[in-house]
Each structure stands twice: as structure tokens, then as C-alpha cells.
Chain A
């Protein structure tokens, strides 16, 4: 028994040394092409769309596979990972050592956790060595996005950041037809906005007829920070320093910014005045109750993703309202909340998107880098984003690209094939003017003026997040979910509290947030910032 084991072990060792000798052979590259065919696997999001194609095998994957083989002599295999549980599935794959050679995720903490355990390839030396051979990657992402996550001390780089090309966040929407019916101008101040909500409430009979009692002047959700951001952050002073945006920037809803509480106080008052949807706190994420209220036309105003009412073609909020109330009806984006300097400031994220990394099990890092370069080449990503002319898009007179809905093998499983263009998010035709016109054309059955306004306002007077490269903040590890839940909980509770208890509820919630790890994060960020800047 012992002897067989020894023999087996010896054999295994021999085999593995032999194999590693093969792998260790220097990459023979001529004109960006390997002399012997290399094989890599690439993660691809699976959205399981009805009527969609297999994400790992379709018209567009064929385009990539053929191109990679032609340009670099690299054979590509796609590994589907469910979009909505990507982090969990990726965790499993990484833990089992089965992760694809090129992984992509929205969660940097996941990458960091595995990097700490030694499970991720350091990209810094590779990028340095092969920079000349990756011109397209550099042209698209630049040093900013490529080195975004570089550790300031050790110089390690675990992931590169895709480019958030269309950096839009949210908008404030109001019912345009209701404004007209009530002879109101678009609100330009908080006072006007509040007066508008009151007017909606008081004129429910006129606006909704028999459904008057269903009137909801303003809708929101338990995700208070996201769904009221324009309103609340208008209370943040204009002179907020860059240092503060970083030190108090752990919470992506801006909840730690100064004077945030006063914005929430407005919501508390509105709730108690009957201006806000009463039942918002009990509905969980992903519940469609609020969407249905919006579609039914009972809601006067709300804040949401910058193009929210216009999404989803026939089933969009916009299309539903127009069917029920006529072609005049619809939500329009407005700018009602100036800050203390009279500026309609919007806090937008940094231009980063998904994070691309190579697990330590990747034996073809160079071929993988070539893949990223291939996918970043304008010609290639443009084809992936808009497909074939006459099939998946047409070019309008003004040059705009209009996407066409197709069925069958050339269908795109995600808008502009975002799942394949893993280094960019947002349509880029190569011409900025055409881009804006094209985005407006991307919404079926919605007049372009709605989209153009929403597109403009969402990032007008924006303040973009900056990169502060200070390395790992220990206090943040593992705290995201619990702190975010605490935030949502106490913000929700302080909105529904009676007016005279608002301060007590808000302050005790904030204390709990800070003492459960929030303060430790602020302190550590403060120290790290002062060390490097």
C-alpha cells in the first residue's frame, strides 16, 4: 500500500514538473501573435433572457473567437456566470480553483479578499512588460483606470477598472401633464417642489378622478439614500473638500456627508404631511409594487435611475402612462434642488465600472491581456455594441445610431452587448456628438426630447468621484452589507417617525452606525488620506 502511494506520488510529481516546464516556456510572440495556439477561458454574464441566445455561444462570441484566433492565435472559451448571483458563483469558482482565466465582477471586495489569500494574479509587472503590445487597452482606459487600484506601498495591482463611459446616475422626475393641468411651472427650488407636491395632493380629484384616494404625490423606497439623493445632497455645503469626499465617502449614498440630516428632515416632514407613499418602508428590494403604482399613474414625482421611466419599451412606465392618460402624459426630468451656492450639484461616481482580474490559476496571463486589448479596440467594441447595420441598428440622417430589436441568432442579450465589452460601459461610437444622439434613439416609443433632457440634467454641474489610492482600509473589510442595512434602516425609520421624534431617531441610528464600524472607517480613511496626500 505504502509503496503504491509513493509510486503514485512520484508519478504525479514527474507529470507536474513536466507540465510546468511546458507552461514556463517563454511566450513566443511574433507581431502580437503566438506561434503556438494558446487557450484561455473568459467569464461571461448569463442573464437568462427569454428568447435570448446562449451567452457563451452565439453570433457575437463567434466574432470574438474568430478575431482572437486571427489576430493573436488564442482560442477563447466562454464560461457563463449568472448575472444576478455573480459574486456568489464567482466565490465558489475561485474557492474551487475553477475560475475562468479572465474574471469580471462589480465587487472589488471579492477580488481583494482573494488577493489577500494569494488567489489573484498581480497585474502590475505584466502590464509594465507588455504595455507596448496593448495600445488599444491603454487608449481606452488610460493610466487612470488601469492603475486605479494600485497599492500605494507595494505597487501591486489586482484588477483594472473598466471605463464608465456614460456616467449618469439619477434624475428627479415629475408628471409633466399634471404640471400643465395645474398651471404650474417646472419647480426650480425646494419650496416650489414642495408647493407642487401639496398641489398634487389637494387636486387629487382633478388629476385622478375616481382614483383620487390613490394619489401619491411623491414615491420613494427603503433605499432612502439612493432614491432621494438629489433632494438630500442639496443640503451638503458647496465647499465640501476633496478630503471630506474621501474620508466621508465610504457610504456610496453620501450619508456621511455633512448636513445630510437636514435633507432627511424634509422627507420626515413630507411623510407626516401625507406627501409620501405611506407604505414604502415595508416593501423589499425588487418588489414591483411601486413600479405598478408608477405605471398606473398615481404618482406625481420621484427620484430614480436617470432613465428609469423610459426603460423597457412597451412595458416602460412612460408607455403605460401614455396608454392610460394620452400622449401628453409622462414623467419629465427636472432640477428643483439647488445647494447653498445656488448650484444644482450632482455627486457622481468616478468613471469606473466593472473590475477585471486574473485569478492565480490563470496560466496564460499574456494571452489574457491580449484579449482585453482586442475587446478594447474601437473597431471591435463598436461592432459588439451596435452590431450589423440594417440588422441590429440603422444610421439616421443626423448620424445617430438607432438600435433595432431583432430576434434569433443576432439578438443582443444585454443592452449594447455590455456583457462582452467588459472594458467599457456605455455606447461609444467613436464620435461624441453621435453618442448623445444615439443614446436618445435607444428608447423605443419615447420621444427623444425626454431622453435628451434626462441625459443632460443627470450629469449637469456634476462633481465626479476622484481616485484616492491609499491601499486597503482594514476597517472596511466585510462591513458593507451590515452598514448599508443599518443606514437604510435608520433613514427609513427617521422618515416615518413623528416630527417631534425625528432628531432622536436619526441621532440614535447614526450613533449605532458609527459605533458599529462607521467611525472606525472614517478614522482609518482620515489617517490614510493624511499619509499619502
Chain B
């Protein structure tokens, strides 16, 4: 007994002596996460309290209605309910149209045989990812404005009616989703292309020998090979169904379409940050996170039930 314990301790010591530098390397990112991701969580408390930035969260008095004052306030606010609706709608559309886009694009890129052309195309489709939404909204205005936008000028010159891309709520949603796909689809292909390279080429050869044409090979080899990656990314994007970007809707929006463009992050900005009601915005943020967590767990267990690996 004594000996084996001694032995185990020695083994542990040896292990530490050999790898302590790696642990040291790890210490910094762990410290970062603890300090900037976990410590601030103490301020979740302020979602249930009367806010006062000059005091620590545990010193604050509880808010009215057993601490749920801010949640009640949010749900009584019509703007919040609209924001909730818009967030869900825009995110669902993004999921429906934006999620398959990079998969399709990756499949197309993968089928290109002329390597140099493939590489150039890849670089070009990545580029928009590096533009900020502010720049893209500027481009969108120059291109899509109802009267002065380039696209509409062209349409009018060839005798068509101009299209209110940014002026009518319906069209705006379309422009919003389209611009999102245009910006991110290329970048998001990276992970799929990487997954495709790990598919065993013998499978393609075998399929070819069996007489499968290109489409059949994509359907029966490439896509099944991508399935685990697709599932993981799908689960993660379901976790963000209530999350909302700020800069994209904020930059693209204008006064004519606020009925569909005001999302939760904009609500938080207007009431919470600008109006300095930090507890309210904290409550909304907490609500978003909790729902997001439910979706994440739900999607994960669903994936597992159907025999996939899930994300944990």
C-alpha cells in the first residue's frame, strides 16, 4: 500500500517536472478567462438589484417584486417584445438561408479542378469577412438607396422600377439576410473545406469505380463526411438564436424600417447603455443567455438521440 502510493506520487512529480512549462503556458489564458469571463459574472446579481455602479453587486439592495422588477419591466415594454420578435425572425432567416450557404459554397469550391482558380476564388470570397458592418452599410447605401443608389439607377436606366431595398421593411429584411450571407459565407467555408480534406480519397475512387457521377459522389461521400461538422456548427448556431449582433442591424437600419430592424441588442443599447438602466439591460442579457443555453442543450441532446456525437 505504502509503496504504491509512494510510486504514484513519484509518477505525478515526474509528470509535473517534465511538463510544468506547458502548464505555465496555460496559466495565462486560464487567468484571462477567470478574470474577464468569470469575475464579471458577479454582476449578474445586479439584474435582480437596484443598480449603483459605485457599489459592489453584493452590497446592493434587492429590486422590487422579489428582485424581478427588471424582468417584469422588460416584458411589459412593447419595444422589448418587438425586439424579441425581430431578433428571433432575423436569426431564423439567417439560419435557414445563411447556414446552408457556406456548405454549398464549400462543395462548389471543392469541385474546382483548376487549383489556381480555386485559390483565387477562395481568397475573394473570404475578403468581405474583414470589412466592418459600418463599411458594408456605407456600401449598401451607395448601391441600394432608393433614388441615388447605383443598382436602382441602373434599373431605372433600363426601364424598370426602382426597388426599395432599404426603405420598405420587407425588402430590408431581404437585404439584411443577403448582405449577411455575402459577408460571411466565404469565411465560413474554411471549416468545411478543412473537413473535406480529411475525407479519405479512396472513398471517392471506390464510388467512381461503382459508377457514381459527380453529384452522386457529393451526395454519398462528401456530405456524409461533413455531417459531424455540420451538426456541431448547427448546435452552436442554435445556441445563438436569441443572441443578437449589434453592429449589423444598427448600421444597416434606418428610420423607415425600425419596426423590423430593432433587435434586442439595440433595445439594450437604447434603454440600458444610453438610458443608463444597467440593471434592465443586465436582466435582458441574462434572459437571452438562459434561453440560448436551453436551445444549446436541447439541440445537443436531440443530436445525440439521432446518433451524432454532439458537442460534449
Contacts and interface: CB of A to CB of B under 8 A. Distances in A.
Interface of A: 91, 94-95, 97, 109-110, 113-114, 117-119, 222, 278-279, 281-284, 287, 289, 477-482, 485, 488-489, 492-493, 496, 512, 515-516
A492 B54 CA distance: 40
B167 A281 contact: yes
Given A478-B271, A482-B271, A279 B255 contact: no
Interface string B263-307: 000000011001111001000000000000000000000000000
Contacts of A278: 146-148
B52 A117 contact: yes
30 contacts: A94-B53, A95-B54, A97-B54, A110-B276, A113-B276, A117-B52, A117-B55, A278-B148, A279-B148, A281-B256, A282-B145, A282-B146, A283-B141, A283-B254, A287-B141, A289-B141, A289-B148, A477-B277, A478-B274, A478-B275, A479-B275, A481-B275, A482-B270, A482-B274, A482-B275, A485-B258, A485-B270, A512-B78, A515-B78, A516-B78
Given A91-B53, A482-B275, 18 more contacts: A91-B276, A114-B53, A117-B54, A118-B54, A278-B147, A279-B147, A281-B167, A281-B254, A282-B146, A477-B277, A478-B275, A478-B276, A478-B280, A485-B258, A485-B270, A496-B256, A512-B78, A515-B78
B138 to A, nearest CB: 8
A114 B54 CA distance: 8
A282 B270 contact: no
A378 B270 CA distance: 41
Contacts of B145: 279, 282
B53 A489 contact: no
B47 interface: no
Contacts, number: 82
Given A222-B254, A279-B146, A279-B147, A117 B274 contact: no
Contacts of A279: 145-148
B79 A516 contact: yes
A118 B54 CA distance: 8
B238 interface: no
A117 B78 CA distance: 28
Nearest to A492: B255
Contacts of B79: 482, 516
Interface of B: 52-55, 77-79, 141, 145-148, 166-167, 254-256, 258, 270-271, 274-277, 280
Contact of A281 (B54, B255, B270, B274): B255
A493 B255 contact: yes
Contacts of A110: 276
Contact of A492 (B256, B271, B276, B277): B256
Nearest to B141: A282
A146 B52 CA distance: 28
Nearest to A222: B255
A137 B166 CA distance: 52
A493 B52 contact: no
A489 B270 contact: no
A478 B277 contact: yes
Nearest to B166: A282
Contacts of B147: 278-279
Given A281-B256, A489-B258, A480 B275 contact: yes
Contacts of B270: 481-482, 485
Contact of A282 (B52, B167, B275): B167
A87 B145 CA distance: 33
A178 to B, nearest CB: 22
A283 B148 CA distance: 11
A268 B250 CA distance: 26
A516 B271 CA distance: 12
A496 B277 CA distance: 33
The winner among A110, A113, A282, A477 for most chain B CB atoms within 10 A is A282
A39 to B, nearest CB: 23
Contacts of B275: 477-482
B240 to A, nearest CB: 25
A368 to B, nearest CB: 20
B256 A109 contact: no
Nearest to A221: B255
A22 to B, nearest CB: 24
A449 B276 CA distance: 45
Contacts of B256: 281-282, 492-493, 496
B260 to A, nearest CB: 12
A114 B53 CA distance: 8
